[in-house]
Amino acid sequence: MLKKVKFEISGDDFREGLTAVISVKVMEPQFEGQTKTKLGNKEVTTAVSQSVSDMLTFYLEENPEQAKKIVQKVILAATARNAATKAREMVQRKSVLSGSGLPGKLSDCSERDPEKCEIFLVEGDSAGGTAKQGRDRHFQAILPLRGKILNVEKSMQHKVFENEEIKNMYKALGVSLGTEEDERELNISKLRYHKVVVMTDADIDGSHIATLLLTFFFRYLKTLIENGYVYIATPPLYLLKRGKDQRYCWDENNRDSIIEDMKGGKDVNVIIQRYKGLGEMNADQLWDTTMNPEFRTLKRVTIDSAAEADRVFSMLMGDDVPPRRAFIEANAKYANIDA
């Protein structure tokens, strides 16, 4: 027997996913706010409400099957909203702000000034182990993530907040959630690191994981990006060796030019080591190339256009397949497919 769950259904549950086109001619329109997205003429409200109510009532009475589907969707939206609220509350209660401690897998740093601290989000325990050995424990923290995190673009909100890896990131960072109405009101006053570095393998899977993480940050932790706290690490792809001469390179063109330079016009052998993952590097190599502030290259994540970023994330990570297929077909020739 199914357990009955009681909770309030709000107007937002009915309006979720609803799109309506209404043509209204007003002699002297007045708009609310600087963005002018809402008509403020009070005399229009009654006429529009009455017209929409009459037409919607007529449509639902004439189409009972569609009415049932709408009711089912409203119930689903209300259920998801209620579950999301509970999940958000659970994240808040278990956050570092409530004194419940940090995630078990987090290897924290000893420095307590957030401006001097940085955290590396790495994929898997193997890379995490190497990063923990190679880091500077004074100011660098490591949080290993288990495989590919949830694609938040395709997930309902309560599933996002119930995800263990995402809850660990919230707790490790020390941020608290914004309101249900506005996710952008993220509280970062207790943010524990001013450099949040995504460090994944330099291959296709690593790029996918980095994209999943950036999708999560854009949708739920955008404030961190807007404040310039999010970075992407750039581990090398190759290690070239000729005797005692060892050099790193980050792409194929760089590799080929360095090989020619190391040969010096002679017919000598240069050993090429391709790194398939961070776990293949030893701690010293990872520190020298990717984590040492004196020599590493970090790419800061910025948002030039929020609208364009929203469109791209929706296209690449959402449920709508045709636009993504068209994008892949148009850009396939530029891709570096890692065999």
Q: What is the CATH number of the domain that holds 188?
A: 3.40.50.670
The model carries a pTM of 0.73
**Would you state the pLDDT for residue 289?**
93
290 lies in some domain: no
Single-letter residue type at 8: E
Domain assignment present for 195: yes
Please say if 201 is a catalytic residue.
Answer: yes
- Given 16, 136, 183, 203, the catalytic residue: 203
Q: What is the mean pLDDT of residues 303-324?
A: 88
The range of the structural domain enclosing residue 252 comes to: 238-274
Are residues 103 and 197 both part of a single domain?
yes
Q: Are residues 259 and 198 in the same domain?
A: no
**Closest by CA position to 166, among listed 235, 237, 227, 88:** 88
What pLDDT score was predicted for residue 234?
Answer: 93
- Read off the pLDDT of residues 127-148 as tens digits, 9 standing for 90 and up: 899 999 999 999 999 999 987 8
- Tell me which of 108, 118, 162, 201 is the catalytic residue: 201
Handedness of CA 30, 310, 229, 104 (dihedral sign): positive
Residue 339 banded pLDDT, cuts 50, 70, 90: very low
Percent of the chain residues past pLDDT 70, beyond the cut: 86
Identify whether 46 is part of a domain: no
Domain shared by 310 and 180, yes or no: yes
Q: Are residues 192 and 250 in the same domain?
A: no
The answer to whether position 291 is within a domain reads no
203 in catalytic set: yes
Phi-psi region of 274 (alpha: psi -120 to 50; beta: other; left: phi over 0): beta
Helices (H), the chain: 11-15, 42-62, 64-93, 124-134, 157-162, 164-173, 204-220, 222-226, 252-263, 283-286, 306-317, 321-331
Catalytic position from the list 13, 108, 123, 162: 123
For the chain, what is the domain count? Answer: 2
Least confident range from 7-16, 228-237, 248-257, 307-316: namely 7-16
The answer as to whether 333 is a domain residue is no
Is there a single domain that holds both residue 131 and residue 228?
yes
Same domain, 219 and 246: no
User: Are residues 182 and 196 both part of a single domain?
Assistant: yes
Residue 111, pLDDT score: 94
Catalytic pick among 125, 205, 280, 288: 205
123 as an active site residue: the answer is yes
How far apart are the two ends of the chain, measured CA to CA in Å? 51
Same structural domain for residues 114 and 247? no
Q: What is the reported pLDDT for 147?
A: 76
Both 164 and 313 in a single domain? yes
What are the tens digits of pLDDT across the range 89-107?
A: 655 555 444 444 688 889 9
* Residue 217 and residue 243 in one domain: no
Catalytic site includes residue 260:
no
Each residue's pLDDT tens digit, 222-237 = 999 999 999 999 999 8
